[in-house]
Amino acid sequence: MANYVVGIAGGIGSGKTAVSDRFAGYGTVVVDADVASRDVVRPGEPGLAAIAERYGGAVINGNGELNRAALRERIFRDTEERRWVERLLHPAINRLIAERLAAATSAYALLVNPLMRARDARANRILVVDVSEEVQVARTTARDGVDEEQARAIIASQLPRKERLAFADDVIVNDGALADLDGPVRKLHAEYLELANGA
Ligand code: ADP
């Protein structure tokens, strides 16, 4: 069990995955909050059954999986329903993340949390992946096939860059080439190993 957790924060398209992949290359266990939030609504999970019961077949795909877009549409303007879904899923997501962190066999674990709006209390240290908004827009439109306006709207809905940087212990600036991430990750990995050994 990893007794030391490094939380990774960053806006959409900032490079959290590119960075965490590199830590994973050193054998570091990566727990992704976004993955956990999808896993709790997989077919067979109680979360999906409860959602299907409340909203009916309109939010379930033909293959029995959650139609996330349909659910989003259903609860988008309805605060009460949104809260209901959050109350249903958040405890399950948090439980799954805690289990995965507890099961991590590396000296320290990474917790990638795209929704981090303040220091994540589960993390001993926070690494922020930072890019300019222009780069963020370019990479998000290229990756997700959304247009510039949609990308900017998503960015505007997320935590402002400055506020995220305010709770960072470490920052990786990802404005350059992918290979430019290797050096900073190598250096931080060594630091985190030391911190984890001292913890
Ligand atoms: P996040 O996980 O924060 O949403 P990703 O790591 O998926 O961001 O990066 C967003 C997109 O930009 C991906 O398609 C990724 O391959 C690409 N990308 C990330 N960092 C760089 C970089 N330094 N140079 C070029 N492309 C990058």
Ligand 1 midpoint to CA 76 (Å) = 28
Cβ-contact 149, 43 below 8 angstroms:
no
Ligand 1 midpoint to CA 57 (Å) = 35
From the list 172, 126, 162, the residue with the least C-alpha distance to 6 is 126
From the list 113, 115, 42, 81, the residue with the least C-alpha distance to 71 is 81
User: DSSP states of 89-114 as a string?
Assistant: HHHHHHHHHHHHHHH--SSSEEEE-T
List beta partners, residue 9. Answer: 128
Cα–Cα distance for residue pair 28/105, rounded to 1 Å:
8
Ligand 1 midpoint to CA 34 (Å) = 16
Cα–Cα distance for residue pair 51/57, rounded to 1 Å:
10
Residue count (the chain): 199
Cβ-contact 110, 6 below 8 angstroms:
yes
Cβ-contact 124, 6 below 8 angstroms:
yes
Cα–Cα distance for residue pair 14/18, rounded to 1 Å:
9
Cα–Cα distance for residue pair 73/85, rounded to 1 Å:
13
Q: Does residue 154 have its Cβ closer than 6 Å to ligand 1?
A: no
pLDDT of residue 2: 81
Per-position pLDDT tens, the chain of length 199: 788 999 999 999 999 999 999 999 999 999 999 999 999 999 999 999 999 999 999 999 999 999 999 999 999 889 999 999 999 999 999 999 999 999 999 999 999 999 999 999 999 999 999 999 999 999 999 999 999 999 999 999 999 999 999 999 999 999 999 999 999 999 999 999 999 999 8
Q: Residue 32, Cβ neighbours under 10 Å: how many? A: 20
Global pTM reads 0.93
Q: Does residue 12 have its Cβ closer than 6 Å to ligand 1?
A: yes
Q: Does residue 143 have its Cβ closer than 6 Å to ligand 1?
A: yes
Closest residue by Cα to atom 17, ligand 1, is: 139
Q: Does residue 189 have its Cβ closer than 6 Å to ligand 1?
A: no
Q: Does residue 174 have its Cβ closer than 6 Å to ligand 1?
A: yes
Cβ-contact 195, 111 below 8 angstroms:
no
Cα–Cα distance for residue pair 81/199, rounded to 1 Å:
42
Q: Does residue 10 have its Cβ closer than 6 Å to ligand 1?
A: yes
Ligand 1 midpoint to CA 197 (Å) = 31
Q: Does residue 139 have its Cβ closer than 6 Å to ligand 1?
A: yes
Q: Does residue 28 have its Cβ closer than 6 Å to ligand 1?
A: no
